[in-house]
Amino acid sequence: MRERFTGKTVVLGITGSIAAYKACEIASRLVELGASVIPAMTRSAREMVGPASLEAITGNRVVLEMFEPLPNPEIEHIAVARRADLFLIAPATANILAKAAQGIADDWLSTTLLATRAPLLFAPAMNTQMWLHPATQANVALLKARGAAFVGPGEGRLACGEQGPGRLIETLPILEAAAAALTPNKDLVGRSVLISSGANHEPIDPVRFIGNASSGRMGRALALEALCRGAKVCVVAGPSDVAPPHAAEVVRVRTAAEMRDAVLERFDGCDIFFSAAAVADYRMAAVTQIKVKRSGPITLELVPNPDIVAEAARRRRSGQVVAGFAAETENVPENGVAKLAAKGLDFILANRVGGADCAIGAEESEAWLIRANGAPESLGRACKGGIARRLLDAAADMLDRNVLPQ
């Protein structure tokens, strides 16, 4: 996500929730991603956490009062309102939501929210009954209608002991939502993107399975890119090291057969399908229900699994984009071209696996983008976020130009 934040100015508004201490972690991650963070605290927030920590983390003075004498005149509400690329209010109490919705401006933060035209992102945190109160829900609906974005709240045990919605959501979903808010290109609004991601585990017996080393990072990168560009995203996720983005619909599966069924059940409703999962090519001919005992060499009888992306390509309707991946150890672009033709795809991402250039589980990959009736385009050694952007560009271009098979 670094490219979304580098060089951006984020105003981090902190209000008087018990979760205010978590703003330090949020600020730290934003700075780590390359953003310039201007912290602003309400008086209530200062009862929960001290400004010194935030100043040390961000390298910027914390804005505390409307009429506070400042050595830097740039830190005042109009100047900051104009400079900001994003206003992130985390945690956001019922009080600040009410002020923002009703146009009340009685402190620095609420006044600056009126003055800015930057995107607004609220991460609510409050007692469950306060969150569910009709007044709060009406304020949230009004802010959303005006274009503000929300992430959370999460559910669970609150500091007051109640159980339910109201917890400040975890930092990673907040960062994902901030990345989406900072993305001006919304060329996939109204589009639905279906992604298969991760590995498959094909059982041998109750405790063993055949699998591969897929981490799910490519599927996550595709899902996040699509969400940032405004798409509705569903991820059919096999076992993986990383979770799909919070805002995506996630369907959990284990085997290739389960993945096939989940993909095809949702395929007709999508505009773009990316088969990013490392689907198991084979499964056991018969799975024993009793643990196989160690007794020397054994032979496993394997049978082919369904080819999910090829089946999807065969049944696609007019106007759908179907794209796949080819993980190869040698002759990478040549094998990618052959796989593209054999499966009838619109385009394919061929990448090298094995050795130092292994794509599986790594953050970078040596890759080629191969379109139907086109020469392989080398992407060099690229990060998976950059690859995801190129793939979504290619899919969006096909949809815009209506050059899909009829």
**Residues recognised as catalytic:** 212
Residue 299 near residue 348, CB atoms below 8 Å = no
Alpha-carbon gap, residue 307 to 324, rounded angstroms: 11
Give the residues across from 273 on adjacent strands. 194, 322
17 neighbors 168 (Cβ within 8 angstroms): yes
Give how far Cα 313 sits from Cα of 9, 261, 310, 337, 370, Å.
43, 15, 5, 16, 16
Helical (H) or strand (E) element with 179: helix 171-181
Q: Which amino acid is at 49?
A: V
Identify each DSSP E strand in 106-223 by its residue range.
120-124, 149-150, 154-157, 163-167, 192-197, 202-203, 209-210
| Residues in contact with 244: Cβ distance below 8 Å, sequence separation at least 6, in sequence order | 197, 216, 219, 220, 223, 235, 237, 250
Cβ proximity of 84 and 9 under 8 Å: yes
Cβ pair 403, 372 in contact under 8 A: no
Rounded CA gap, 123 and 170, in Å?
Answer: 10
CA-CA distances (angstroms) from residue 189 to 78, 143, 182, 402?
Answer: 31, 20, 15, 17
d(CA 98, CA 76): 23
Local structure of residue 46 (DSSP, 8 states) = G
Residues 6+ apart with CB under 8 A from 159: 18, 19
Determine the Cα–Cα distance for residues 187 and 170; give it in Å rounded to an integer. 28
